[in-house]
A = this chain, B = another copy of it.
Amino acid sequence: MSSSKVTSVDVARLVGVSQSTVSRSFSNDTTVAPETRQRVMEAARELGYTPNAIARSLVMQQTNIVGILVSHISSPFQPYVLEKLVQELQHIGRQALVFSSGPNQEFDDVLPTVLQYQVDALIVTAATLSSERLSEFERKGTPVILFNRYTPGELASVICCDNIEGGRLVANLLLDAGHSRLAYIAGNQNSSTNRDRQKGYTDRLWERGAVNLLVEQAQYTYEEGYAAARRLLERAEPPDAIFCAGDIIALGAVDAARDMAVKVPEELSIIGFDDIPMASWSAYSLTTIRAPVDQMIDLTMSLLVERLEVPDSKPVVKLLPGTLIPRRSARLPLSSFEF
């Protein structure tokens, strides 16, 4: 039952040195007599002293805290990203302060709080952020990185899968394989991932003369994917290929087809996007476009470090190509399997 708060002053008193010396003992790059440092450390252990990161942050003008804004962690693409980001941040000695927009809570509501906590940087994954808000961070000198979310503008860095190109790739594949009645199941309407995937897909279809596209709306959930696919398959002229805005939707679509006795891929090709873990499960074996998540995270971290350590670094935009993961949910041209 030692006193609940032990400060560097207490340690100093016990050792018989000044508070400065205690402070210096705890930072590696300062000059303290080895023997003194050791006595300080011993006393610290004895008293149960832990440096106060809050106080340090105040004087150092740097918290070592990075904010992470997420929405719908539950969507299976996110947890992996979040976990990795948290771990990588720990790795470079930063902490992750995580904010989430609830179902009906807009991000702009939580941003004031983020600002108050003096985060050194902010990573935004799959969320909508108004540019006025962005500029508040910019003005404060806090770098913002949009992860897998592409918004034009120079206020923030962007690390994103090239969703437009990915959509085009799918269009080409499906047409090359001879599909003729194409469909798209969209994800959240205000997400940039959905917007870009849809745009690439439909643009390319249009360019190649496939103009009759069926489109259904869904949120990024299994259930909505299932329902949307059902609606498509119950039509008089059901599609023979469905591109889904995300894997989670596609998995629902696969099950919908199975439950309606529509053979995948013989009668219906289904292609997803992201390559979440479940896509590879043997019950699904989902053909999909893999977003290079690990690479994106690596890039995010190195960009973060640069923006934190190089004073005049500027925001950067990086688009990374997705790659086809051919599995068994879609009939594709043989050439797709060649790598």
Contacts and interface: CB of A to CB of B under 8 A. Distances in A.
Contacts of A65: 97
Interface in A90-106: 90-91, 95-100, 102, 105
B1 A222 contact: no
A151 to B, nearest CB: 22
Interface stretch (A172-180, A183-191, A233-241, A253-261): A253-261
Contact of A255 (B48, B115, B283): B283
A51 interface: yes
A312 to B, nearest CB: 13
A91 B50 CA distance: 30
Number of copies: 2
A98 B100 contact: no
Given A95-B97, A98-B86, A99-B90, A116 B53 contact: yes
A333 interface: no
B83 A100 contact: yes
A58 B254 CA distance: 54
Interface residues of A, number: 64
A63 B97 CA distance: 12
Nearest to A118: B54
A296 interface: no
B73 A95 contact: no
Contact of A283 (B116, B277, B283): B283
Interface in A65-118: 65, 68, 70, 72-74, 76, 78-80, 82-83, 86-87, 90-91, 95-100, 102, 105, 110, 112-113, 115-118
A141 interface: yes
A52 B169 CA distance: 48
B222 A74 contact: no
Contacts of A1: 139
A281 interface: yes
19 contacts: A4-B139, A50-B112, A52-B58, A52-B118, A53-B117, A53-B118, A54-B57, A70-B83, A72-B83, A73-B82, A74-B80, A76-B76, A83-B100, A87-B102, A91-B102, A222-B281, A258-B282, A278-B278, A283-B283
Interface of A: 1-2, 4-5, 48, 50-55, 57-58, 61, 63, 65, 68, 70, 72-74, 76, 78-80, 82-83, 86-87, 90-91, 95-100, 102, 105, 110, 112-113, 115-118, 136, 139-141, 222, 226, 251-252, 254-255, 258-259, 277-278, 281-284
